[in-house]
């Protein structure tokens, strides 16, 4: 978590700044606290936000707007509705082929043939990029759902 120390004496009033007054001068998306040893204001960006400013001037921006929140190019960045933590999810047509701790979005057709039958070809819808299974030459569909086998 990135933080900064705000000069603890206000240049206009001479009074000590505190978190209960204007959030201690911290960004609206930052949490204000005080150092125990000298009561200086410390600003920390809230979960889901990152400091795009400097050490002495915290400017907290939505983490998803900076480098897609660290999510890959084939992923979508969003926030957990409860914790506001950054979440990465693969875009339609991509599957997570990572190791559980790292999201790696791979073309779904390259992972297990996109869930299509082994006798089918996997492709993507030109508009939605959703997986489309098509039977190879000499095969016909036995059903109309995406996981239907070819006979």
pLDDT at 138 > cutoff 50: yes
Going by pLDDT thresholds of 50, 70 and 90, the confidence category of residue 149 is low
- pLDDT surpasses 90 at 139: no
**pLDDT number for residue 147:** 54
Read off the pLDDT of residues 11-26 as tens digits, 9 standing for 90 and up.
444 445 688 888 888 9
Say which range, 69-73, 108-112, 147-151, has the weakest mean pLDDT: 147-151
Is residue 9 very low, low, confident or very high in pLDDT (cuts 50, 70, 90)? very low
Q: pTM above 0.95?
A: no
Q: What is the DSSP string of the chain?
A: --EEEEPSB-TTT-PBP-TTTGGGG--TTEEEEE-TTT--EEEEEPTTEEE-SBTTB--EEEGGGSGGGG--TTEEEEE-TTT--EEEEEPTTEEE-S-SSS--EEEGGGSGGGG--TTEEEEE-TTT--EEEEEPTT--BSSSSTT--B-
Q: What is the pLDDT of residue 117?
A: 82
Q: In this predicted structure, what is the pLDDT of residue 11?
A: 43
Instruction: Quote the pLDDT of residue 125.
Output: 92
Q: How far apart are CA 28 and CA 8, in angstroms?
A: 18
Q: 148 falls in which pLDDT band (50, 70, 90)? A: low
Please answer whether residues 135 and 129 qualify as being in contact, where contact means their C-beta atoms are separated by less than 8 angstroms: no
The residue among 45 and 135 whose pLDDT is bigger is 45
């Amino acid at each position: 978590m990135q933080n900064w120390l705000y000069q603890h004496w206000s240049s206009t009033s001479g009074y000590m700044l505190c978190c209960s007054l204007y959030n201690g001068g911290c960004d609206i998306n930052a949490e204000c606290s005080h150092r125990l040893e000298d009561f200086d204001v410390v600003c920390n960006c809230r979960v889901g936000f990152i400091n795009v400013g400097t050490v002495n001037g915290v400017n907290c921006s939505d983490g998803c707007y900076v480098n897609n929140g660290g999510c890959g190019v084939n992923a979508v960045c969003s926030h957990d509705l409860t914790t506001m933590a950054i979440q990465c999810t693969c875009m339609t047509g991509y599957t997570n082929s990572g190791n559980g701790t790292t999201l790696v979005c791979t073309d779904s057709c390259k992972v297990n043939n996109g869930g299509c039958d082994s006798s089918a070809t996997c492709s993507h819808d030109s508009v939605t990029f959703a997986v489309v299974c098509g039977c190879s030459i000499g095969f016909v569909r036995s059903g109309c759902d995406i996981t239907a086998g070819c006979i």
